[in-house]
């Protein structure tokens, strides 16, 4: 399939375009960028800052990828955005490049960034994550694989959200969300991401172990170090090992448990 560039688009001659790339009206792609095969860039999108975009990505209307970070520490460093394959990046998404020399803001594979999502400088997104409309991530945020962030989720800088975690719409986070848990309100969790775990094929036995791990962390009158010690010795499952490692490495601390959990929180 041949590459198609609309007559009104401005694509620097140095840009590396793969086969089958489709570039819509009034798109701007600046020098030093690269797009893999079968990418689609829709009208009025801007790709700059030496962004490297892999194959089969859809870049939505008015999206801006690779703009300068919103960081007073940025002094014109040679940094970029790196995007894997198969991502859907919808209208007016903004992805800023890294702050430091040689750094990169990274998005993995098969993610879905809905309209108005913002990724600040040095954000790291795994694979198969879904970020619903108007989710805003500050600098250095890390998002694990298969995470779902509800619409309007706000995440403070350096916060981490673990594999298969979920947030409700409007959640505000400045503490880490452990893998497999559901975050709500402000820096609270309210149980497991049960629906996400089932859809991901996590076995009933493993889900029960994760529920026990949640109870041990939040309801067993143990401090975090004691709970992790108990979990290491009681379970020998990769999901529990992932949970323990994530919590042990937390620098901001993990979200607290919500106390007024209702039936809707346990679905």
Whole-number Å distance between alpha carbons of 127 and 107: 8
Whole-number Å distance between alpha carbons of 39 and 241: 37
Backbone dihedral angles phi then psi of residue 245, each to the nearest 5 degrees: -65, -40
Whole-number Å distance between alpha carbons of 222 and 216: 7
The CA-based angle 101-177-226, given to 5 degrees, is 110
Whole-number Å distance between alpha carbons of 165 and 152: 16
Catalytic (active-site) positions: 121-122, 139
Say whether 227 sits in a helix, a strand or coil. helix
Backbone dihedral angles phi then psi of residue 206, each to the nearest 5 degrees: -70, -40
Nearby residues of 33 by Cβ (< 8 Å), 6 or more positions away: 12, 15, 16, 47, 48, 49, 50, 51, 52, 53, 66
């Amino acid at each position: 399939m041949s590459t198609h560039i609309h007559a009104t688009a401005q694509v620097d001659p140095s840009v590396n375009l793969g086969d089958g790339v489709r570039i819509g009206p009034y798109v701007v792609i600046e020098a030093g960028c690269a797009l893999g095969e079968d990418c689609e860039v829709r009208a009025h999108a801007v790709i700059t800052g030496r962004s490297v975009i892999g194959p089969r990505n859809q870049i939505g209307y008015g999206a801006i990828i690779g703009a300068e970070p919103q960081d007073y520490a940025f002094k014109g460093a040679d940094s970029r955005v790196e995007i894997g394959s198969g991502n859907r990046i919808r209208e007016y998404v903004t992805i800023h490049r890294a702050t430091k020399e040689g750094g990169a803001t990274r998005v993995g594979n098969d993610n879905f960034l809905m309209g108005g999502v913002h990724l600040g400088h040095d954000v790291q997104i795994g694979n198969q994550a879904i970020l619903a409309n108007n989710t805003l991530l500050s600098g250095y945020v890390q998002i694990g694989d298969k995470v779902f962030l509800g619409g309007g989720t706000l995440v403070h800088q350096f916060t981490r959200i673990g594999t298969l975690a979920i947030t409700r719409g409007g959640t505000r986070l400045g503490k880490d969300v452990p893998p497999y848990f559901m975050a709500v309100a402000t820096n609270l969790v309210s149980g497991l991401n049960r629906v996400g775990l089932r859809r991901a094929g996590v076995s009933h036995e493993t889900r029960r172990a994760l529920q026990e791990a949640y109870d041990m962390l939040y309801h067993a009158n143990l401090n975090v170090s004691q709970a992790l010690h108990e979990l290491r010795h009681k379970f020998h499952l990769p999901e529990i090992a992932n949970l323990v490692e994530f919590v042990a490495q937390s620098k901001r601390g993990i979200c607290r448990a919500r106390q007024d959990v209702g039936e809707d929180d346990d679905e």
